[in-house]
Amino acid sequence: MEEKVMKLNSKAVHTGDRKRSPSGWTPVTTPIHTATGYIYNDMDELDRVFAKETPGPSYSRYGNPTSDALEELVADLESGAGALACSSGMAALHMAINTALIDRRRVVLAAKLLYGATLGMLAKIFEPAGVEIVYADFDDENEVAEAIAEHRPGAIVMETIANPLLRVPALDRIAKMANDAKAPLIVDNTFATPMLIRPLEHGAAMSVHSLTKYLSGHGDVLGGAVIADAEHIDALRNLSRTLGFTLGPFESYLVMRGIKTFPLRMERQCANACRVASWLSTHPSVERVYFPADPKHPDADNIKRLFPAGLWGAMVSFEVRGADRAVIFRMMNALKMVVPATSLGDVHTMMLYPAMASHRELSPKHRERLGIKDNLVRLSVGIEATEDIIADLDQALNH
């Protein structure tokens, strides 16, 4: 009888856990393995482990049983051949790009609208190292196709839901272009999470997450992950053995613990965000709301085709009418429950000012070209009672 594949909610609870020990007992959850080195009964066995002929840990930069369990879990959630747990989301993205460029043209085609730190890494790390960076509007498929034909990139980088304006490019069609050009597509899937979309199922080569955000979900751990297809997983792991951007066992344990409730949290956060976005669109102090559920969203066709019905993510961005930096600061200082902090995806609702935080390193003119105005704030909606979120936003907007 064919084995039935578990649903995502069940995978989040079970995958990676309950490995049987040589003595026959099985821990209910994955233990925290703190050892940096491992001893085997004879040197021939250790030699086979080093040669990767026999599975097993040898040195923690090469692999750790706790982190291995996490990697098994996130690979299963994203339908990947394997995964690498990294020390941060940016470390994960760095690993993914480096892996993609092995034996390929050192040209990266990137979306114009990306997280500010990603843009900074491309400009300040990869470009000075001799990698040509080309930017295109990924919401214009013709522009992407023309850029691929002209520049023949070795890798392509995009986000499923762009930070912070929440655009949703046609990932499936861009993935086909990338595969036709033999250029691995790297997708930052942090905002969407595997609940909304799994990029590898649409042809992407690697999906990247900041584990700090929705997957761990409690604001208490820093981490990242790259989930790769069969073509790239070995190269990714080999590169990691040299560079060592690995996640520690304590952090891996915390992320696994958080993922067990991730589907429940994400469902609630998506529902809350929909209600908050609808309310914001009626507020006299709000000029414009950015949210994927909006039927007038410029990427509505992509959203309907790619995302499950009723799940649009939990990020809401909005512009405060007539506000400048001082007005935004005053509003954020007036918040009583919503947390004005630099992150997203936590159980508590968080507000961020992109011009000050996520896109701070971009010049004002660059932000303006991207459409990131000085009156824009980004809201990561949590799991609180929606009425309490709305009440706090209301009193802050009217402050």
- In the residue annotation, 392 being an active-site residue is answered as no
Evaluated on CA atoms 265, 13, 8, 192, the torsion sign reads: positive
Q: Which amino acid is at 291?
A: F
Strands 155-159 and 350-352: unpaired
CA 87: distance to chain centroid? 14
62 is catalytic: no
CA distance 105 to 271: 43
Determine the Cα angle at 202 with ends 200 and 207, to 5°. 30
Helix, strand, coil distribution of the chain in percent, nearest 5: 40, 15, 45
DSSP string covering 15-76, please?
Answer: TT--PPPTTS---SS------SB---SSHHHHHHHHTTSS---SBTTT--HHHHHHHHHHHH
Which of these is catalytic: 48, 52, 61, 268? 61
Q: Is 273 helix (H, G, I), strand (E, B) or coil?
A: helix
Active-site residue, selected from the candidate residues 68, 76, 139, 188: 188
Report the alpha-carbon distance of residue 124 to residue 240 in Å, rounded: 21
CA 15, distance to chain mean position in Å, is 20
The structure tokens listed for 64 are 């750790």
353 annotated active-site: no
Q: Can you tell me the distance from the alpha carbon of 202 to that of 126, in angstroms, rounded to the nearest whole number?
A: 27
Q: Are 234 and 216 in contact (CB under 8 A)?
A: no
Q: In what order do the strands lie in the sheet with 315-320?
A: 286-290, 315-320, 376-380, 350-352
Instruction: For residue 224, give the 3-state DSSP assignment.
Output: strand
Active-site residue, from 11, 62, 68, 115 = 115
213 as an active site residue: the answer is yes
Among 11, 167, 213, 265, the active-site one is: 213
How many other C-beta atoms lie within 10 A of the C-beta of residue 271? 17
Tokens found for residue 273: 């965000």
List active site positions.
61, 115, 188, 213
